[in-house]
Chains A and B, each alone.
Chain A
């Protein structure tokens, strides 16, 4: 009887230790993965900045970057708040395409003409078990503010590659700001989701 109890205790502790070790290793690998993805992203931006692209080529390159490194499905869903559920599947698809293009356009106009940005990693920390936040400073030469605090929020599902779902500059979440804009536009137009699509199409045409 006593030896059974002893065996059970040993088995329990072995299981507990293994579980703790595995989950810690998995968390550590998620945080490392996320920070290495940020470095890859910065390298890709460097290569665009160092190559003489036309404006259109630059825009295409940034579009590819956004599609590769960002989870646009989550971003599209989160940036429309409660109105996502009111949209038809065609509207959801169109909005996801347009918001991807809009982000690429804005990023190309912000970063395309800068000589070389750098990222200094400060930390990579798990946020719950499905997200990681990579924090650091973005060094942007020849700009009025040459050091910008930035947090990259990653979605880190166990079965997939981590992808960026939000970027915070100086503690201001771009996704939260985008959501407020989207909701304001939809509300101004009587809750019609397609009004947001029209607004982005107009913005992209300018």
Chain B
């Protein structure tokens, strides 16, 4: 069953990539990391409309109706749910201490399913995902792809998310119907919680940009770069390179 879902998702992902490749118009590509820009922009427009019609009103309502301590509890829970992935990926990246801290946080907070963070006084573990693991083992990031609903990312990151979805550490609880339903609701809950938490930032991107797609792509790459380079604090950022080049541009 899991394998079927895995191959179906991979097939869909590859089909999406191949359709995108066939419609490239080199003349209007604005970024070398984004050879699929034309198709990506179409999917982005669909996602943007979906956000305007569905997610934005829900997130606005969520921010208005849910009291702040309940929002904190939900944020804590969403964070807690991600800790097993974090532990596995930290170990795969040989960040043993981070893996240990992450599993400690998971175990301690499991008492309340993560709704209460008993470890908030401690330094939280660094977030490590499977995309970072692939980068750690030298897999190249690949072209930028915008995936329906979940948004734009490098193909390495998109593939990593498929793997995250398929290798679900909670599948062990699948026999229990309540837990099964709660797990199914996780992606929805975390999406709403993320959108509500970043409500003004996302709206600023949507409504104050000259070219929302280009700005979103830039924000994604900058944020992703920081995550991939999190062990190398001295790695020059895009802004550093921009100013280095500025002197010589004349």
Contacts and interface: CB of A to CB of B under 8 A. Distances in A.
A176 B222 contact: yes
B182 interface: no
Contact of A180 (B214, B223, B249): B214
Contacts of B217: 180
B112 to A, nearest CB: 24
Interface in B223-250: 223, 226, 237-240, 242-243, 246, 249-250
Contacts of A171: 222-223, 226, 237
B222 A187 contact: no
Contacts of B22: none
A168 B239 contact: yes
B239 A184 contact: no
A82 B210 contact: no
B31 to A, nearest CB: 7
Among B204, B210, B250, the most chain A Cβ lie within 10 Å of the Cβ of B210
A22 interface: no
Interface in B184-203: 196-201
Contact of B242 (A143, A144, A175, A187): A175
A145 interface: yes
A78 B240 CA distance: 12
Interface in A112-152: 127, 131, 143-145
Contact of A85 (B27, B31, B204, B249): B249
B85 interface: no
Contacts of B242: 78, 173, 175-176, 179
Contacts of B107: none
Interface residues of B, number: 35
Given A131-B243, A173-B239, A187-B28, A106 B208 contact: yes
A176 B240 CA distance: 10
A199 interface: yes
Interface string B203-220: 010001111011101110
B30 interface: yes
* Majority secondary structure, B binding face: helix
B60 to A, nearest CB: 10
Contacts of B211: 181, 184-185, 199
A159 to B, nearest CB: 16
B200 to A, nearest CB: 6
B30 A144 contact: no
B222 A144 contact: no
Given A168-B239, A181-B210, A188 B249 contact: no
B201 A169 contact: yes
B198 A176 contact: no
Nearest to A186: B30
A181 B200 contact: no
B63 interface: yes
7 contacts: A102-B210, A166-B243, A178-B215, A180-B217, A180-B218, A184-B213, A199-B211
Interface of B: 27-31, 63, 196-201, 204, 208-211, 213-215, 217-219, 222-223, 226, 237-240, 242-243, 246, 249-250
Interface of A: 74, 77-78, 82, 84-85, 102, 106, 109-110, 127, 131, 143-145, 153, 165-166, 168-173, 175-185, 187-188, 190, 196, 199-200, 203
Given A173-B237, A181-B211, A187-B29, 16 more contacts: A102-B210, A106-B204, A110-B204, A143-B199, A144-B196, A145-B197, A145-B199, A172-B223, A173-B239, A180-B218, A183-B30, A187-B28, A196-B210, A199-B210, A199-B211, A203-B210
